[in-house]
Amino acid sequence: MPTYLFYPRRADGVSLTFIAEAAQDDRDALELAGEIATAHDCVGVFVWEPSATEGKDRFVGEVERPNARSAHESQAQQGAVATF
């Protein structure tokens, strides 16, 4: 089974950690990403498959949590005001 790297991301797009898990294939990895997004209360999860050689890692996809808001949406709804 291939190992995939899961990067839970915050609303500002930053991922502070990663999780390495095995999955049968890309479809299973993306399903697992949805479970990770919920468990870590993040807006989404980037999924990568590490290269078996010195080549480049492969981007598998991204799963976004339903009803999760991006930083831009959150600020707009909170009425954030910039002062100078």
- Domain membership of residue 8 as a residue range: 3-78
pLDDT tens, 13-36? 899 899 999 999 999 999 999 999
Count of domains observed in the chain: 1
Q: Give me the DSSP letters along 14-32.
A: -----EEEE-SSHHHHHHH
pTM: 0.74
The answer to whether residue 59 sits within a structural domain is yes
Q: Are 42 and 51 in contact (CB under 8 A)?
A: no
Residue 72 has what pLDDT? Answer: 39
Distance in angstroms (rounded) separating the CA atoms of residues 41 and 27: 21
Look at residue 12 and tell me whether its pLDDT is greater than 50: yes
The answer to whether residue 11 sits within a structural domain is yes
The answer to whether residue 60 sits within a structural domain is yes
Q: Exposed e or buried b for every residue in 19-49, given b needs 16+ CB within 10 A?
A: eebebeeeeebbebbeebbeebebbbbbbbb
The answer to whether residue 64 sits within a structural domain is yes
pLDDT tens, 31-78? 999 999 999 889 999 999 998 777 789 999 999 987 765 443 433 333
The answer to whether residue 83 sits within a structural domain is no
The answer to whether residue 84 sits within a structural domain is no
In sequence order, the 6+-apart residues with CB closer than 8 A to the CB of 7 are: 15, 17, 18, 45, 46, 47, 48
